[in-house]
Amino acid sequence: MKRLFIRISLGIFLALVVSSVAASQLMRLTIDEQMHERMRGRIFGEVDMMQDYLDRAGEEGFAEAIVRVRRFSMAPVIVRRLGDPEIPPDVRAELRGHTPLHRPNDEGMTAYILINGGDKVVVIGPHRRPLPFDWRHLLLVLSVVLPVVGVAGYLLAYPFAKRLRTLEKAAQALREGDLSARAPIDSPDAVGSLAQQFNAMADKMQELLESQRHLMQAVAHELRTPIARIDFHLEMLRDAPDSAQREARAEDIESEIGELNDLVGELLVYSRFDVETGPLKKKSLPLPETAHEVVDRLRATRPEIEVLVRGDAEEVIAHETYFRRALQNLVANAKRYAKSQVVVEYERDDGGLRLSVVDDGPGIKEEDRQRIFEPFTRVDDSRSRESGGAGLGLAIVARILKSHGGTVRVADGGATGSRFVTFWPDR
């Protein structure tokens, strides 16, 4: 905070110093030159008048005239003889033919007047140049500017620094494990939008970690059942009196291991959607061919259930494997619970394809329609345990649709049964 304030103040201060020095130098270059020209004109005129006046005063009026000249001259006036060593030799030589004479030197300009062609020389000067650049003036100006810049810098830096501090605190809390830490900043500046990004990131992190935690708990819970059963079968295997019973127990264990294997396989599919790895490779899949292929693969399970495919769209834009997987899970469920019929129907709708899987089974209660998409949710335990799978089927469907930017929900399936409605956007 302090550093930010010092930096801003120092920045403004340096910018002011540099710009004012540069500006004053520029002004000097232009104004100085003009001033000098004007001064020269005045000095030349004044000296001409002096020459005239002194010449006319003559020998007898000279003393009085020189007093007057001193009074209105802008520079010192000294009377010398032509032979005086203070008169430079080149001036002496030139004065005979040309008077008055102006000579520039380090301090300014000096004028020489030869009175009536005689021996008397009046030296007027030096006429000093206008004041040179003075650092003391700059220091004076800075003594006023510095405190003003300090206060302005503080006022500018303070709100920024305060918001950054809030953001820093939230980041620190998050780092230390407080997943609910957020930065309550809604200013319409860069810090505000940074805070928004930070909060969105924290939301996402919290959501991910919490879903991971739930999944871990659910997985542990799901694994426990087959493991307990394997344990039980092993116990029985040890006590089995003959080889026929031993064989039966071994088969039980094998089937439990098969279930464990299925669960692990489903888990792997499910977790693949946990990490979003860039945009999906979507393509156009032909309808109804793709739907028929999926339905045909499930022919063996409950072949007595009739499955109809109907719709008036020609394609769906989706990731091929994931689309087939989602449809397969929905149709498999529908077949599992249907009494006699399952319908897969689709239509184009608002920039995408709406595809529904409808069955005439027991349906899903209003209050369960949201939670069945969570991993390992079974709404009717006795019913689904014997017939169902690992409890990840709908969770996988939900994830597939989320990764496509689409949706899945359960609606009423008509008189009875359930209707799973999915939406697959074109882009």
Binding footprint of ligand ADP on the chain (CB under 6 A): 333-334, 337, 359, 361-362, 364, 372, 377-380, 384, 388-395, 418
State which residue, 185 or 326, has the beta carbon closest to ligand ADP: 326
State which residue, 114 or 372, has the beta carbon closest to ligand ADP: 372
State which residue, 54 or 294, has the beta carbon closest to ligand ADP: 294
Q: How far is the CB of 214 from ligand ADP (least distance, A)?
A: 15
Q: How far is the CB of 270 from ligand ADP (least distance, A)?
A: 10
Q: How far is the CB of 377 from ligand ADP (least distance, A)?
A: 5
For residues 103 and 109, the answer to whether their CB atoms sit within 8 Å is yes
**Which H helix or E strand runs over 41?**
helix 33-72
Tokens of 131: 């004041």
State which residue, 158 or 273, has the beta carbon closest to ligand ADP: 273
Tokens of 402: 């989320």
For residues 313 and 347, the answer to whether their CB atoms sit within 8 Å is yes
State which residue, 115 or 395, has the beta carbon closest to ligand ADP: 395
Q: How far is the CB of 256 from ligand ADP (least distance, A)?
A: 17
Other C-beta atoms within 10 Å of 307: how many?
23
Phi, psi at 245, each rounded to 5°: -70, -35
Q: How far is the CB of 250 from ligand ADP (least distance, A)?
A: 26
Closest by CA to 373, choosing from 311, 319, 329, 427, is 329
Q: Kindly report whether the peptide bond that precedes residue 159 is cis, defined as omega within 30 degrees of 0.
A: no
CA–CA separation, 112 vs 259, rounded Å? 122
State which residue, 46 or 266, has the beta carbon closest to ligand ADP: 266
CA-atom Rg of the chain in angstroms? 50
Q: How far is the CB of 392 from ligand ADP (least distance, A)?
A: 6
Q: How far is the CB of 412 from ligand ADP (least distance, A)?
A: 12
State which residue, 183 or 294, has the beta carbon closest to ligand ADP: 294
For residues 379 and 372, the answer to whether their CB atoms sit within 8 Å is yes
State which residue, 43 or 392, has the beta carbon closest to ligand ADP: 392
State which residue, 69 or 215, has the beta carbon closest to ligand ADP: 215
For residues 170 and 191, the answer to whether their CB atoms sit within 8 Å is no
Q: How far is the CB of 361 from ligand ADP (least distance, A)?
A: 5
Phi, psi at 135, each rounded to 5°: -65, -25
Tokens of 258: 């098969």
Q: Which residue is nearest to ligand ADP (CB)?
A: 393
Closest by CA to 338, choosing from 295, 281, 397, is 295
Q: Which residue has the tokens 């019913």?
A: 383
Q: How far apart are the first and last CA of the chain?
A: 46
Phi, psi at 189, each rounded to 5°: -115, -170
State which residue, 153 or 391, has the beta carbon closest to ligand ADP: 391
For residues 403 and 276, the answer to whether their CB atoms sit within 8 Å is yes
CA–CA separation, 384 vs 369, rounded Å? 15
Q: How far is the CB of 224 from ligand ADP (least distance, A)?
A: 17
CA angle 134, 135, 140 (to 5 degrees): 105
Q: How far is the CB of 197 from ligand ADP (least distance, A)?
A: 34
